[in-house]
A and B are shown apart, each in its own frame.
Chain A
C-alpha cells in the first residue's frame, strides 16, 4: 500500500461519519481519486484476509467488519437483540424515500392510516426540509444521510427502481392466478 492508501485507511478508522473525497484531500493536501484508492484498499484487505472492508455508504466511505465476524462481536458485546424498525416506520420510510420531498398527508393517503413521523424524526432517518407552498403550508419530509448509512446505501440511486418493484409484483400476481 502507498502512503495515500495508509492515510485513507487511518482516516476511515477514525471517522465518525462516512468519509468523503474532499475530506481526504483536505487531510492529504493533494488531489486524490478516492474511489480508486478505496478499491485498492479493499483488494489488499481481501488478499490478506483481513476481517474488515470498506463500504460505499451515503456518498462516502466507511470501514466495517465483515459479516463473518458478526457472531463473535455479538457474543462479546451482547448485541443479539437488534430491534429493527416497526412495519409502520418501514412503510412510512419507503414512501418518503420514493416520493420525497413529501408531506404527511401524502403518506397518510398511500398508507390509508394516520401516520406518526415522530420515530423516524427522532432516529434521524427523515428530516423536515421546508414547507410545501400549498394551503396550510404542510411540512416537507425527506430522508437523511443517516438513512443511507443505516441501510448501507451508497446513494438514493441504489434503491430498487419503482418499475422493478412493479414488475416483480405483477409476476407474483400472475403466478397466484395461474395456480
Chain B
C-alpha cells in the first residue's frame, strides 16, 4: 500500500516558522512560543517518520524554541520591579524579520525573472572560428570558470597505467662465483660464450660488472685483440680469492 502525501518543502527553519506565522495569522512581534514550538516539533517528527532528511539547522532551531519557551515560563525577578527586561524572543524575531525581507525580495526577483523572460533578445550567431585576442578573451573568464575547467581537466586525466615487472634476482657476487666456476671447467673463456647462457640483458650487465670487479682485484686477466672483438677471461694466480658461498 502506498500513500501520496504532500509535504511542503521549506528552505529552512526560518521559512517554516514564517509559514506557521502566516497560516495561523500570528503577530510576528508577539509569537505564542508554546504553540509554534509544538507545531515545529510536529513537523520534524513527521519528516523523520517519512524519512525526509532535514538539515541540522531544523534541530538547532527546535533547541532555540524550547529554550525560549522555558525562559518564558520562568518568572523574572526584574520584572516584578517593573523594569524593562529583554523579551527572550527578541533575537528570534529579528532573525525572522530580516529573513522575511529577503524572502519578499526574492519573490519580486521571481516576478522580474518571469517578466524579463518574456522578451527575447536578438539572436546573434556565435562565430566560433573567430580569432580572439588571448588577453581580451581571458578578461571575460571568471575565477569560477577557471576552477571548474581545472576540475574537468583533472577528471579527464588518464588513469595511471600499471605494468608488471619481474624482479631479476642477481648480484655481482653471484656472477663472480659463476665466472670462477666456469673458469674451473675451462681455462680460457670468451665473454660472448659466457653470455650465451645468460637469460637477459640485466644478467649480462651484472656479469660484465663482475668481470670488471674481478680484474680490479686481480682474480682474472682479460685479453682483447681489437676493439669490438671477443674479450677473453683467464684466471690469474695469486689474486684475491673468492670464496664460493652456498
Contact = CB atoms under 8 A, between A and B. Distances in A.
Contacts of A65: 119-120
Interface stretch (A20-28, A31-39, A88-96): A88-96
Given A87-B11, A128-B144, A67 B116 contact: no
A94 B148 contact: no
A165 interface: yes
Contacts of A110: 98-99, 102
A119 to B, nearest CB: 11
B142 A169 contact: no
Contact of A114 (B55, B108, B122): B55
- Among B14, B100, B120, B148, max chain A CB count under 10 A is at B120
Given A64-B119, A91-B106, A112-B12, A153 B112 contact: yes
B44 to A, nearest CB: 15
A97 B99 CA distance: 14
Contacts of B126: 16
Interface string A142-179: 00000000111100000110100110110001001101
B105 interface: yes
11 contacts: A63-B122, A65-B120, A70-B119, A73-B120, A85-B109, A85-B110, A94-B102, A97-B105, A98-B105, A151-B113, A152-B112
Contact of A84 (B99, B104, B110, B120): B110
A124 interface: yes
B13 A112 contact: yes
B120 A150 contact: no
Interface residues of B, number: 42
B142 A113 contact: no
Nearest to A70: B118
Nearest to A107: B102
A150 B126 CA distance: 19
B157 interface: no
Interface in B8-59: 11-15, 25, 27-28, 55, 57
Contacts of B115: 152
Interface string A1-38: 00000000000111110000000000000000000000
Nearest to A127: B142
Interface of B: 11-15, 25, 27-28, 55, 57, 61, 95, 98-110, 112-122, 124, 126, 142-144, 148
A39 B105 CA distance: 30
B105 A150 contact: no
B106 A94 contact: yes
Contacts, number: 125
Given A67-B118, A150-B113, A15 B124 contact: yes
A177 B25 CA distance: 7
List 7 A-B pairs, minimum CB-CB distance, nearest first.
Answer: A113-B12, A152-B116, A64-B119, A90-B106, A94-B105, A112-B14, A94-B106
Question: What's the interface size class on A, roughly?
Answer: 35 or more
A75 interface: no
A127 B124 CA distance: 25
A98 B144 contact: no
A122 B113 CA distance: 17
Contact of B122 (A12, A70, A153, A162): A12
A59 to B, nearest CB: 16
Contact of A124 (B57, B104, B117, B142): B142
A73 B117 CA distance: 12
A128 B104 contact: no
A62 B12 contact: no
Contact of B106 (A16, A67, A87, A128): A87
Given A14-B124, A112-B61, A168-B104, A91 B11 contact: yes
A121 interface: yes
